[in-house]
């Protein structure tokens, strides 16, 4: 192995620790000189300096995964994200500023050492328009299609329904994922199986049958880090996504009673496969309840 050409001095190390969602960083200022005290050509010698291991390359790990020192926590997930440098001492030295960062942080709520990534939930209230043939119905919307007439009073509109507004809440669940652990294709092929499914159990306080997964997006962030975000689009409907539908005859016209109004009105919705949306938070086949609670309730809870 050839003798080293360069030597380095660690001038300073600055550490920044923020809340979950903010990058944790270590910034190093390093001076590199030639051992023979000769001039350094900044345009042509950087690769050689990196080759001797004095300065990392972009995306290099802070420590090798197989040799994490005892006592090190979130620092084991650091990667080199930025390198800047300038000449000094009349071009006989180069001062490097190396920034290491990660979105991983140690879970302060856990009794054992574990690491977490940012996740959050957003809500937006809105309404949907739907047609009703009855008011004051005796059969309330539930997690199933009605098998018989829902009862109530026919609207004063002949055979035509009346439009009403049903309150809804759209819910966006955001999960940050490490691409070095789960490639983006995993999110597209794995999480897309939840699309157009309906919740089989309570999720985020929404009773079974009231929440639909409308879509899943996997998108890369703009910060250059090897992380991406998976965004689930859910829609809550207190009417269980049901519509009032009147029975029709063989010609497609509503069956009418003696009063000239639809004779039989039922609660109906398209068939969807029920699924437990908490499975999104499974780790090793088991739901990570802390991850779910932190995402739905907020990490500050």
- pLDDT tens readout for residues 201-217: 999 999 999 999 999 99
Closest CA to 117 of 177, 166, 28, 46: 177
Q: Give dist(CA 95, CA 116) in Å, integer.
A: 34
Query: Taking the domains of the chain in order of start, what are their residue ranges?
Result: 6-106, 119-297
Q: Give dist(CA 300, CA 297) in Å, integer.
A: 8
Phi/psi for 59 (5° steps) reads 75, 5
Q: Give dist(CA 84, CA 93) in Å, integer.
A: 14
Neighbour tally for 151: CB within 10 Å: 12
What does the pLDDT read at residue 215? 95
Is it the case that residue 89 has pLDDT exceeding 80? yes
Bridge partners (DSSP) listed for residue 102 = 24
Q: Is the separation of the CB atoms in 146 and 267 below 8 Å?
A: yes
Bridge partners (DSSP) listed for residue 64 = none
Exposure on the CB side of residue 101, measured as CA atoms within 13 A: 20
Token pair in block for residue 17: 């620790």
Residue recorded with tokens 């005290």 = 37
* pLDDT band for position 224 (cuts 50, 70, 90): low
CATH level 2 (architecture), domain 6-106: 2-Layer Sandwich (3.30)
Proportion of the chain above pLDDT 70, given as a percent: 97
Bridge partners (DSSP) listed for residue 125 = 169
pTM: 0.87
Q: Which residues contact 133 (CB under 8 A, 6 or more apart)?
A: 154, 155, 161, 162, 244, 246, 261, 262, 265
Predicted confidence (pLDDT) per residue in 104-147, tens digit: 998 876 777 789 999 999 999 999 999 999 999 999 999 999 99
- Bridge-based pairing of strands 198-199 and 274-275 is parallel
């Amino acid at each position: 192995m050839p003798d080293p050409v360069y030597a380095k001095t660690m001038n300073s190390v600055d550490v920044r620790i923020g809340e979950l969602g903010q990058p944790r960083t270590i910034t190093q200022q390093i001076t590199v000189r030639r051992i023979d005290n000769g001039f350094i050509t900044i345009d042509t010698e950087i690769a050689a300096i990196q080759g001797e291991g004095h300065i990392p390359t972009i995306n290099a790990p802070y420590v090798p995964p197989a040799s994490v020192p005892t006592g090190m926590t979130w620092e084991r997930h650091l990667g080199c994200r930025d390198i800047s440098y300038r000449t000094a001492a009349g071009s006989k030295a180069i001062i490097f500023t190396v920034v290491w960062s990660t979105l991983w942080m140690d879970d302060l709520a856990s009794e054992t050492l574990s690491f977490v990534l940012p996740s959050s939930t957003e809500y937006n209230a809105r309404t949907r328009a739907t047609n009703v043939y009855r008011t004051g119905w005796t059969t309330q919307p539930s997690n199933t299609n009605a098998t018989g007439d829902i009862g109530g009073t026919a609207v004063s509109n002949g055979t035509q329904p009346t439009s009403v507004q049903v309150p809804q809440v759209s819910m966006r669940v955001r999960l940050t994922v490490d691409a070095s652990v789960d490639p983006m294709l995993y999110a597209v092929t794995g999480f897309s199986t939840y699309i157009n499914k309906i919740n089989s159990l309570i999720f985020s306080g929404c009773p079974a049958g009231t929440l639909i997964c409308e879509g899943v997006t996997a998108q890369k962030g703009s910060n250059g880090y090897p992380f991406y975000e998976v965004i689930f689009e859910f829609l809550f409907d207190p009417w269980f996504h049901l519509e009032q539908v009147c029975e029709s005859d063989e010609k497609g016209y509503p069956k009418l009673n003696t009063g000239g109004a639809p004779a039989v009105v039922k609660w109906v919705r398209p068939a969807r496969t029920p699924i437990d949306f908490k499975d999104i938070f499974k780790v090793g086949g088991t739901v990570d309840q802390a991850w779910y609670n932190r995402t739905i309730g907020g990490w500050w809870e």
